[in-house]
Amino acid sequence: MKKLQIAYPIIVEGKYDRMKLLSVCEGLIIKTDGFGLFKKEEKAALIRALAEKSPIIVLTDSDGGGKVIRSHISALVPKDKLIQLYIPKIEGKEKRKAEASKEGFLGVEGMENELLYNLLAPFSSENDAGASEKLIKIAQNPLSKVDFYVDGLTGGENSSRKRDELAQKFGLPSGMTPSALLEALKVVATYEEYLEAVCRKGN
């Protein structure tokens, strides 16, 4: 099964949900770390910043906790920027867990690949003209870790501070890893806007 190319950021609850989605699609997948989203303004700021430039796909578990997290995200992002996807309520437990969840339903990580594939397929670059156009723009953006190194955003004594300053210019949170910042910038900024932000002229 060929992986889907998803241009829109996808929000899931945890790392195992993210790993599961990466088995069926490629794209920017953001973890809320469960209810950690409520405590981390940085994560909320990232979601808001991404939503200003792109629709956001929300895919949380079908239990009460997933509903609360989905509701919180809905309060952060305008309704017209949200793509709400839902998994069915299927009783069972994930293989890695000793016991089922409190409500006894499988989460995103417990869904069959085919189900998740079919759920996300309408928003792939092959089936969504808007996603296709956005994916092309992201793919054509040459921003890379080489740029980060050239501009002192990695490999230097003050690289962390410089990344935080750059993130602030685009409404992104501080403390992002180089890889996470790179992925987010490709969604929210053009290469020219990046060069201007780091005070470097294009070739």
Q: What is the pLDDT of residues 120-148, one digit of tens each?
A: 999 998 888 888 888 888 888 999 999 99
Summarised one tens digit per residue, pLDDT across range 20-77 is 999 999 999 999 887 777 777 788 888 898 999 899 999 999 888 889 999 989 998 9
Range of the domain at 179: 141-197
d(CA 64, CA 122): 26
For residue 118, the domain's CATH number is: 3.40.1360.10
Task: Determine the Cα angle at 26 with ends 73 and 39, to 5°.
Answer: 25
pLDDT of residue 203: 53
3-state secondary structure of 22: helix
Whether residue 24 is found in the same domain as residue 116: yes
| Greatest distance between any 2 Cα atoms in the chain | 57
Indicate whether 107 and 13 sit together in one domain.
yes
Q: What confidence score (pLDDT) does residue 102 get?
A: 72
Is position 190 within any domain? yes
Residue 145 sits in the same domain as residue 100: no
Identify whether residues 56 and 145 lie together within a single domain.
Answer: no
Q: Which residues contact 151 (CB under 8 A, 6 or more apart)?
A: 162, 198, 200
How many domains does one find in the chain? 2
The structure tokens 């890893």 sit at 177
21: Cβ contacts below 8 Å, ≥ 6 apart: 10, 12, 29, 59, 108, 116, 120
Tell me the whole-structure pTM to 2 decimals: 0.81
The pLDDT of residue 122 is 94
Question: Are residues 105 and 24 located together in one domain of the fold?
Answer: yes
Asked if residue 181 and residue 152 are part of one domain, the reply reads yes
pLDDT at 191: 94
Region 165-179: what's the mean pLDDT?
90
